[in-house]
Structure 1
């Protein structure tokens, strides 16, 4: 999550926190749609919770455990070999996070999980200062978001000369910083998973309205928000859409590890999975229930077009910004088309109010 996006979502998070635990007790708010749709929506939300959300957080929790083990092995004996052994677990965990990024409501938003785990770009100078002084506090929103999480590990483990930095001056402090970052990530994810396995599961599945703070309202808002983030911070901004065409490749997600493209593809693939409901009912099926089959077909088709455009970009994405601008531009435009379908047409069809402010002019 880019720093600028955090501020623009603050109002939505506050409103969600106030309403999320009461909306489940209220009735249907579908206007002309009969109350019988409640049974469908209840089953759909149970499918989301049981078959997509809890498994996604469980997978991330497990992959963070594997990453922690491989990183500790590296810290115990820093070398190019032990560092190389962390790359696949790091990539697997970061890709797994893309499967929960869209779930930034309820327990995740209450803990600011996305802010703390994936605010990019990270700020190396602040990280280095924290390591040198041994003074840092990861619990301060906005002030500490960009010095922790996956982006911080991306820099600490994969920036040039990373191995030597874990063997020279401040090596002990550097190792502690990495362990503190990982420990905090694991705690946040474990807490979020625990709440989804607890009372929040019922709160989510019993929320049958589509107003602000409802489960369907939160899902559709987050679909749009994640598409906006893909169009802006993940692709458009480092590509130069807000800087008169000047590329800032080092501002993209997963820059140091070189997995920016894979992360973007995983993010969009995850969004499609949540949209369809995977093997059960999802928002796509809800559109069909609302007699919006043509819109559903258009959204599904545009998902495929946008994914194909992302997959056509040579890796790493950071190099493609300069070397393959036409392919990046096409992917950007296809993502923009999908964003419009979700943020305007899908939101209107489901009577969901989009409550976050979009990014500026990209």
Structure 2
């Protein structure tokens, strides 16, 4: 019998362990951040890391905070008067908040890793039976590491707000109150961990991050490149490949896709890939792409940028919802999957090699 990864296997982010995750290959670099030609790259790296910290990462977390506050307001209206109308009113805010998370899924190191932010906010698919058990009994603990990951965050809200019969369950005079309390508890925890992450960046981690200029264990550039590869692995595997049947002999598990109940799986995947591109380019300022140019790897950088465009276009070509496209438009999904695989190889193998970074996380599907 073939081994099926769904429905039992969850996608959860890998928390980088500094001493084990990032062993940077120092070949071609000296300990003081100088290349073999004697040209110091420290000034460039400092400017690049400041750009990531001040223009991408920290503003991204602030946007997530703002989006969660808006979502909580819309959810409060739904909980006070459950109806198809108030449910529909939640969806744009839910999608905006979820996409705001996709924009900060990549920097899962430092404060975010300390808070287990990604695991808490986006372990999918949700553990429905345990969620329902907790609601029924009123006995649950969302602070338990690992065991509670699939019981909260966006995937849990996705099920609780947009799952089949969600409005009727919220309106139930007996069990509805426990369900409403559970939703509020989930939202409050999401806000708390996001706030903690923002505060820790401001309290000192920013300085640690922007001054990590050497290519040694735990360097900021090493974290970024490992996470670029990890996010591509997650897009190729749990977000698309696994529900598409790539780990289950072609058997599709559409309901295990990210954002399944709200039917925004495609939008989340596109947001995730666009975010990966932003982290690669550094937005409009210095990024990994410019660092490759500095290292004389212009052709590789051009190839990566071109493949980003191809992969994003292929992903956007999939008809929404993605969960239906797995069976309704499999050729289009397969085409996007292949382009994502090509981009993954460029980032995980070629970019890592060019920058002297060793990829040490365990990938999602063994390739």
TM-score (norm 1): 0.94
Matching of residue 238 in structure 1 with residue 251 in structure 2: no
Instruction: Supply the distance in 1 between the matched residues of 2:158 and 2:37 (Cα, whole angstroms).
Output: 48
Tell me, yes or no, if the aligned pair for 1:28 and 1:35 is still in contact at 8 Å. Answer: no
- 1:166 corresponds to which residue? 170
Q: Who is 2:124 aligned against? A: 120
Is 1:201 aligned to 2:215, yes or no?
no
Deviation, 1:29, is 4.5
Which of 292, 301, 306 is the matching residue for 2:297? Answer: 292
In structure 2, the residue matched to 1:38 is: 42
Give the C-alpha shift of residue 210 in structure 1. 2.8
Residues 30, 210 of structure 1: 8 Å contact kept: no
Conservation of the 8 A alpha-carbon contact between 2:103 and 2:272? yes
Where structure 2 has 5 or more consecutive residues not aligned to the other structure, the ranges are: 1-7, 24-29
Q: Distance in 1 between matches of 2:19 and 2:34?
A: 21
**TM superposition shift of 1:6:** 4.1
Alignment of 1:6-25 (within 5 A): 6=12, 9=14, 12-13=16-17, 15=19
Partner in structure 2 of residue 23 of structure 1: none
Which residue is equivalent to 1:141? 145
Label 1:149 to 1:33 Cα distance change in 2 as closer, same or farther (>3 A). Answer: farther
Q: Aligned-pair distance for 1:64?
A: 0.3
Question: What is aligned with 1:54?
Answer: 58
CA distance in 2 between counterparts of 1:64 and 1:27 reads 42
Higher deviation after alignment, 191-200 or 291-300 = 191-200
Superposed displacement of residue 322, structure 1 = 0.1
- Asked if structure 2 preserves the Cα contact closer than 8 Å seen for 1:154 and 1:256, the reply is yes
* Alpha-carbon displacement from aligned partner over 1:210-234 (angstroms, at most 9, x marks no partner): 3331100000000000000000000
1:296–1:14 distance in 2 versus 1, CA, 3 Å:
closer
Partner residue of 1:248?
253
Assess, with a 3 A threshold, how the Cα gap between structure 1 residues 128 and 14 changes in structure 2: closer, same or farther. farther
Match of 1:357 among 350, 355, 362: 362
Q: Secondary structure at the match of 1:141?
A: coil
Paired residue for 1:323?
328
The match for 2:88 is: 84
Q: Offset at 1:161?
A: 1.1
In 2, Cα distance between equivalents of 1:35 and 1:58: 37
* 2:349 aligned with 1:344: yes
Aligned to 1:301, what secondary structure does the other structure show?
helix
Listed as ranges, the matches of 1:64-83 within 5 Å are 64-83=68-87
Deviations 1:168-211 (A, max 9, x none): 13111000000000000000001101111221110000001233
Unmatched tracts of structure 1, length 5 or more: 20-25
Deviation at 1:18, TM superposition (A): 11
Residue 182 of structure 1 pairs with residue 195 of structure 2 = no
1:103 maps to 2:95:
no
User: Structure 1's 16 and 6: CA in aligned 2 closer, same or farther, altered over 3 A?
Assistant: farther
Q: Is the 8 A contact 2:18 2:218 kept in 1?
A: no
1:227 aligned onto 2:232: yes
RMSD: 1.9
Query: Does structure 2 conserve the Cα–Cα contact (< 8 Å) formed by 1:3 and 1:119?
Result: no
Give the direction of change, closer, same or farther, for the CA distance of 1:318–1:222 in structure 2 (3 Å limit): same
Structure 1 residue 305 corresponds to structure 2 residue 310 = yes
SS at match of 1:142: coil
> Is the partner of 2:17 in helix, strand or coil?
helix
* TM value normalised by structure 2: 0.92
- How many pairs were matched up? 353
Report how far residue 15 of structure 1 moved.
3.2
